[in-house]
Structure 1
Amino acid sequence: MSICLGALALLGAAPAARATELRILTEENPPISFSEQGKAAGLGVDLVDDIQRRLKSHQAVQVLPWARAYAMLQQEPNIALFATMRTAEREAQFKWVGPIATVKTSFYARRGDGVHLANLAEAKAAGVILVPREYYSHQVLNHLGFVNLQAVSRPDIMVRMLMAGRRGLMVGDNLTIAALLQNVGAKAGDAEPVYTFMESQYYIAFSRQSADALVQQWQASLDEMKRDGRFAAIYAKWLPGETPPGLRPNAPAEPGAAGK
């Protein structure tokens, strides 16, 4: 009862917390977010739209290249960016609303190439690894001392390079790999995970200058979505067969945990 009353109190404070307009950003990362006929679509977009509906807000979601959107999140006030992986390296940089999806991050190779990795040490010695620039995976692997990374501007470029045989490994995740492959003309199973090094969760990240009341309102609305079944319905629409994350946020992801 006290939780519901607290959520209602936060919702009632919405107009004051929206005194400064929020700018909501995302990237091309299907099925979480993507452009469709000039508008943003995807799982994350549906979630954000429903949160705004509950808060009586109507800010449009902008689709930008990830590196640009991430720089804006770090440097400008009143920015919300999704889907942003919550990692230990990023924990203190932003304010967090979520979780909105659970993700397994792996090194991927072309199916049939015979690539096998047993641990991170083998990955460090495996040749050049493709990774999207300024993604959580890029940051985490840099932090772990990887010097064999080739950062590219977009995930689709990375996938094209892997499938063309220009590199033997790339970094991807279980939620977006099928759509990425299909978008470059490959089949969903043409790339396979050869070592999973991280299990973590996507969040909506807010710039540090964002008002605490606004972030709390968004979290309260997301929690209500999870209680009333709307969150599960959106998740099933975009990620059928996957289990949606619950109410309790997990701790920031620790790299290598999934590979132990």
Structure 2
Amino acid sequence: MPAAEGIALRSLLYCRLSIFLLGLWLPLSLPAEPLRLYSQEYPPVNFSIAGEPAGMAVDLVRELARRSDQPITLEMVPWARAYREVLTQPNAGLFVTMRTAERENLFQWVGPITVNITSFYGLSRSAPRIDSLDDARHHGEIAIPRDWYSHQLLLAEGFSNLRPVPGPDMVVQMLKHGRVKLMVMDNLGLPAYLARGGLDEDEVKLLFSFLRSYSYIAFSSQTAPALVARWQAELDGMKRDGSFAAIHQKWLLGAEMPGLRALP
């Protein structure tokens, strides 16, 4: 081989080797894009303390991120904004949200995280008797958090006496001050919202339970399916090794824990 051709060949091999080594190095040196996670005020599952995210689901997603080696950002925002962001943005997730037939194909799901029982409640001293959904239609306006799954479900059931308001805090205030005789709330958030609203638990009576549902982390449809599958696998692992139970009982002592998987 002539000397010039040998030099050219060595240069070509050196160039290809450099490109190969660079390809090996880049994935290790560039951090993964942070996963943007949105949540809303829903104590004790997810809420903020002095501006910092806290709660059962917050502890859980942080541990899932650690186990998945996935950088994340957490932001507490109003429900409507969180829902809109995750509907339209890649690499984004919303927690916690109820997995329903209507939402099934809009998101990718990791869970279940909590079991929620939604009911009609009234003030103990003046609560009407409610034994069915039909009974609830005939007792004036019902305060309910706007756009929550319970609101959507009762609208689908033909309720015309709902009074949707921006959130559970206002729902409690409307019941407390007699502006409505009934409110809709789920069992997990009820104690915290009553305390924030200045009501003792014995001042409010459970009248009729109408919905059992499971909450999940909802990832946008544009998020990589492999990432979603990894988070589901890590959650299943936490349920098997007891670490999920430890987090759940820390925040939701006595509440029913979900199993490995549940249908919508």
Q: Normalising by structure 2, what TM-score?
A: 0.85
Alpha-carbon contact 2:145-2:166 (below 8 Å) kept: yes
Shift of 1:77: 2.5
Matches within 5 A, 1:180-259: 180-247=193-260, 249-252=261-264
Matches within 5 A, 1:160-199: 160-199=173-212
Q: Distance in 1 between matches of 2:90 and 2:157?
A: 30
In structure 1, which of residues 131, 139, 146 is the aligned counterpart of residue 152 of structure 2? 139
Q: Distance in 2 between matches of 1:90 and 1:148?
A: 25
Alpha-carbon contact 2:127-2:205 (below 8 Å) kept: no
In structure 2, which of residues 100, 122, 133 is the aligned counterpart of residue 109 of structure 1? 122
Alpha-carbon contact 1:67-1:133 (below 8 Å) kept: no
Alpha-carbon contact 1:65-1:154 (below 8 Å) kept: no
CA 1:229–1:85 in 2, change beyond 3 Å: closer, same or farther?
Answer: same
Q: Distance in 2 between matches of 1:61 and 1:121?
A: 41
Q: Distance in 1 between matches of 2:154 and 2:92?
A: 26
Counterpart position of 1:255? none
In structure 2, which of residues 86, 92, 104 is the aligned counterpart of residue 91 of structure 1? 104
Counterpart position of 1:77? 90
In structure 1, which of residues 148, 154, 159 is the aligned counterpart of residue 161 of structure 2? 148
CA 1:89–1:189 in 2, change beyond 3 Å: closer, same or farther?
Answer: farther
Counterpart position of 1:6? none
- 1:28 paired with 2:17, answer no
* Partner secondary structure for residue 159 of structure 2: coil
Cα displacement string for residues 158-180 of structure 1 (whole angstroms, at most 9, x for unaligned residues): 11111111111111011110111
2:103 is aligned with what amino acid? R
Shift of 1:195: 0.9
Cα displacement string for residues 209-247 of structure 1 (whole angstroms, at most 9, x for unaligned residues): 221111101101111111111000001100111231111
Alpha-carbon contact 1:86-1:202 (below 8 Å) kept: yes
Alpha-carbon contact 2:113-2:258 (below 8 Å) kept: yes
Cα displacement string for residues 40-67 of structure 1 (whole angstroms, at most 9, x for unaligned residues): 0000001001101101223132111112
Shift of 1:19: 5.0
Q: What is the aligned residue count?
A: 236
1:55 is aligned with what amino acid? S
Counterpart position of 2:18? none
Unpaired runs of at least 5, structure 1: 1-13, 253-260
Larger Rg computed on CA atoms: 2
Unpaired runs of at least 5, structure 2: 1-26
Alpha-carbon contact 2:142-2:184 (below 8 Å) kept: yes
Counterpart position of 2:67? 54
Q: Normalising by structure 1, what TM-score?
A: 0.86
Shift of 1:126: 2.2
Q: Distance in 2 between matches of 1:25 and 1:231?
A: 21
CA-atom RMSD, angstroms? Answer: 1.7
Instruction: Write 1 or 2 for the structure with the bigger share of helix.
Output: 2
- 1:120 paired with 2:133, answer yes
Q: Distance in 2 between matches of 1:80 and 1:192?
A: 35
* Partner secondary structure for residue 126 of structure 1: coil
Cα displacement string for residues 184-215 of structure 1 (whole angstroms, at most 9, x for unaligned residues): 22112322221111111111111122211111
2:57 is aligned with what amino acid? G
1:148 is aligned with what amino acid? N
Shift of 1:20: 4.5
